[in-house]
Amino acid sequence: MRGNVTTGRSFRLGPAKASDRAPGRGRRVATAVVLFTILWLTPWCSRAALSTAAFELANKLYEEGKFAEAAAAYEKLGQSGQTAAALSFNLGNAHFKSGQIGRAIAAYRQAERLTPRDPDLRANLQFARNQIQGPTLAPSRWHRWLGRLTLNEWTLLAAGALWLWLLLLAFLQWRPALKPALRFYVLGLAILVVILAACAGAALRQARFTRTAIVTARDAVVRFGPLAESPAAFTAHDGAELRVLDQKDDWLQVSAGPRRTGWLRRDQAVVAGG
């Protein structure tokens, strides 16, 4: 370990002595670590700089009223493997201003996964949903409450509670005399773990296993069967959010309520979640 420490003596000028060998090796190691760190961070920094420049360029297009071009620029930025709440938010705004409510809602929902408590985002999402005509699935009060935290936040809360509970149990094995005094804390933490784990599970189910089709066509005819010749069941309009029940070829089986189920062409909607 001594060799890894860089001391003032290692910078001394003059011929190296036998006793200087260890600090010299440390200096080389330190240099290698610094170089490695720089090489590792460089692509990240340059990518972030690229993203910022492209983002500001897209913002400029938006301010000039070129909403469709701005939306394309934001979408291209989002294909770089990076994501940001502001990026999805602005993409939603650009789509909304282009008159594409469905795509706007899909983008807002994407941003909601990152910053669910952003008041601007909540206002715009609600405003966009207010524009929807015809059948659509409004999020229930439970889903709205669950959506106040991201899936990762629910996961960390549940994991934190689990850690606390198990470490408290381990501590009580070490100090069993404290068991009576801490009994209620153990019970309370256990209940908290169960509740938070259930919430995390529900959030996971909502985010990964519940698929929602957001209609992007102006008027999408939902049919009784997955065929263009099937009779129309109802018409869903741009922005309508429908639960996806099944999929067959290029058709999605969707539901807008207990008695509103049918098949929607895949190219008339974007699918969120799952």
Partner 1 sequence: MRRLSSWITVNPRSRSRHRLRPAFALLTALLWLAPSTLGAASFTATLDRESVTVGESATLTLRYDGGQPKTTPSPPTIPNLQVSGGGTSQSITVINGQFSASISQTFLLTPTQPGDFAIPALTVEIGGQVLSSQPLKLTAVKAPTSAADGAGDKLAFFKLFVPKKEVYVGEILSVEFQVYVRDGLANGEDILQGFDQFSGCPVKAEGVSIIKTAHAQRRRARLGNASYVVATLVTSLSPIKTGPITLGSMDVPLTLQIPLPNQRRRDPFDPFGMFQRMQVEERRVSLSAEPEILKALPLPRENIPATFNGAVGNFTMTVTAGPTNVAAGDPVTVKVALSGRGAFDSLALPEQNAWRDFKTYPPTTKVDTTDPLGLQGTKTFEQVVVPQSPDIKALPPVSFSFFDPDQKSYRTLTQPAIPLVVRPGGAAPAPVVAATTRAAQDNAPPAQDIVHIKPRLGAVAQIAPPLVLRPWFLALQAVPVLAWLSAVLWRRRAEMLANNPRLRRRRQVAQNIRQGLDELRQSAADNKSEAFFATLVRLLQEQIGERLDLPASAITDAVIEEHLRPRGVPETTLAPLQELFQTCNLARYAPIRTSQELAAIIPKLEAVLRDLREMKL
Nearer to partner 1, 24 or 231 (CB): 231
Q: Does 159 bind partner 1 (CB under 8 A)?
A: yes
* Nearest-angstrom CA–CA distance, 18 and 232: 90
Q: Which of 16, 38, 41, 232 binds partner 1 (CB under 8 A)?
A: 232
Cβ–Cβ < 8 Å for 199, 146: yes
Nearer to partner 1, 87 or 264 (CB): 87
Distance from the first to the final alpha carbon of the chain: 50
Q: Which residues pair with 244 in a beta bridge?
A: 254
Smallest distance, partner 1 to C-beta of residue 29, A: 27
Residue 213's closest CA among 250, 239, 248, 249?
A: 239
Residues 53-112 that bind partner 1 (CB under 8 A): 55, 59, 62, 81-87, 89-90, 93-94, 96-97, 99, 101
Total binding residues toward partner 1, as defined by CB under 8 A:
60
Q: Residue 109 contacts by C-beta under 8 Å, 6 or more apart in sequence? A: 125, 212, 214, 272
H/E/C letters for each residue in 128-147? HHHCCCCCCCCCCHHHHHHC
Q: Which of 30, 137, 149, 162 binds partner 1 (CB under 8 A)?
A: 162
Residues 15-44 that bind partner 1 (CB under 8 A): none
Q: Which residues pair with 252 in a beta bridge?
A: 247, 264
Q: Which of 48, 187, 194, 195 binds partner 1 (CB under 8 A)?
A: 48
Residues 171-190 that bind partner 1 (CB under 8 A): 171, 173-174, 176
* Nearest-angstrom CA–CA distance, 30 and 271: 50
Q: Residue 245 contacts by C-beta under 8 Å, 6 or more apart in sequence? A: 253, 254, 255, 261
Smallest distance, partner 1 to C-beta of residue 223, A: 9
Where do contacts with partner 1 occur on this chain (CB under 8 A)?
48, 51-52, 55, 59, 62, 81-87, 89-90, 93-94, 96-97, 99, 101, 114, 120, 123-124, 127-128, 130-131, 133-134, 151-152, 155-156, 159, 162-163, 166-167, 169-171, 173-174, 176, 200, 204, 207-208, 218-219, 221, 229, 231-232, 234-235, 238-239
